[in-house]
Amino acid sequence: MPPPPPRKPAPPAAKPKPREAFIGNDSSTMMTEETFEEFEARMKAEEDASGGTNTNPALEDREEEDPFGEDDEDPFSDDDEDAGEEPAEQEAQKLGPGGRPLDRFGVEWDYVSHEGMGFNDDDDEDAMTFQKNGKTYFKPDWGPLQPSDWVGYWKVNFALEAAQGEDDEEVYQAALEEHGFRNRNNWKRAQHCFLRHYGEDPEFTNAALEARQAQTRDAMKSAVKPGMLDPIEGVSLQVYAAIAAQQLSVTGPAFVKLLARHKLDEAKFARVSEAWMARMSDQRDPMASAAIMTEYGKAFAAGGQGQYGASAQEASASMGINDKVAGKKAKGASGSMTFERYVEVMTAQSCWAQQGKDANQMLKKVFNMTAVDWSNASAYWAQKMSTDVVLMRDQFPVLSAKYTQKYMAGVDDPDADLDV
């Protein structure tokens, strides 16, 4: 029986490499006041003058779309000596579709340029970055966030933007720590990681719109002070909105009977209406007024009046300041008009306004709709369109242009004689 082959000696342990100087694209981490392009040009000029080779990874192949081109080795290959991993460890590591290892969330490692990533953060774990062929590589770093929680990411993004707008480093650092990040560079890496993996996905942008709406609703909710939503002369905002929803279609004796069912007469209803309208238009606290108006809109839609009442009732479930933003997932599609019809009616009203025509009369004449019908149709589509970037960016402009041409046909430009 032949003797076993001699065991291959283990490669010597790699010496730790010194940290590279960080060339940042952030104002707080710039090494000099010169721009990166100026710095790059200066370094290139020095390199040409010396006849040497610049190995700064921040300056290599910056325009190269694929970092693993023909001339580069993939740092995630099975090269044991360069990668610094034992074969058994590599075999145990799960690989993604690109043949690279997966992180703890199942997301494939990626290449991130050294520029702007803050790799010289003293608190970084050594395993977070490594170098090969003169370049720095980076495992996905999500910070305390979950890569699948896009709305959560955008909420943090907006909160940190607001804190940074205070122009106070202590305030910004406190906000970073509140959201689980050590410092600015830690957040920048997580931010870059989300954008690199998901930045081209329309749903990622939709999540930003949803997060912004949620942020606005939270602000409105916080602005409501005790008493602002209390009933006026015993009439709640919900009852007032329900009556208002029927007011345009119920007149004369029928309206008097409607008021009587709520123990109201016309004089009292007029006082109540004026008081609620004053609360909704009080500009001393615009955010609180917006909150009251939002709750009024929810109650008005829930009244379910007119042609699109059923759609509005369903859509009202996600319209209030205490409701979770539904956006493109809003209910009410089955009872609503088509999106093209919605854009046509919206565009027609805009054209009529420019022509000085009465929108309510034209709505009835052209579309056999009342103002309540239009409001209720909007209850669904306004929500859906507000968090559907494809609908807003691709479909709405095309349809709006189409119907602007239709409803402005033969009409002179009303602003043609204005001096601009």
**pLDDT mean by block of 10 residues, the chain; 420 residues:** 46 41 31 47 63 41 40 45 41 70 79 51 56 64 92 96 91 96 87 89 96 96 96 96 87 91 94 96 94 96 91 96 94 93 97 95 95 94 94 96 93 50
pLDDT score, position 42: 62
134 Cβ contact partners less than 8 Å away, ≥ 6 residues apart: 55, 57, 60
For residues 221 and 291, is the Cβ–Cβ distance under 8 A? yes
pLDDT of 8: 45
Query: Helix, strand, coil: what percent of the chain each, to 5?
Result: 50, 5, 45
Please classify residue 149 by burial: count the beta carbons closer than 10 Å to its beta carbon, then call 0-12 exposed, 13-18 middle and 19+ buried: middle
Tokens of 7: 């065991």
Would you state the pLDDT for residue 40? 56
Residue-level pLDDT at 25: 32
Characterise 315 by phi-psi region: left (phi > 0), alpha (psi -120 to 50), beta (else): alpha
**CB-based contact 142:193 (threshold 8 Å):** yes
pLDDT at 55: 39
Please, is 211 exposed, middle or buried when counting C-beta atoms within 10 Å of its C-beta (0-12, 13-18, 19+)?
A: buried
Give, as one character, the DSSP assignment of residue 305.
Answer: -
Q: What is the pTM of this model?
A: 0.71
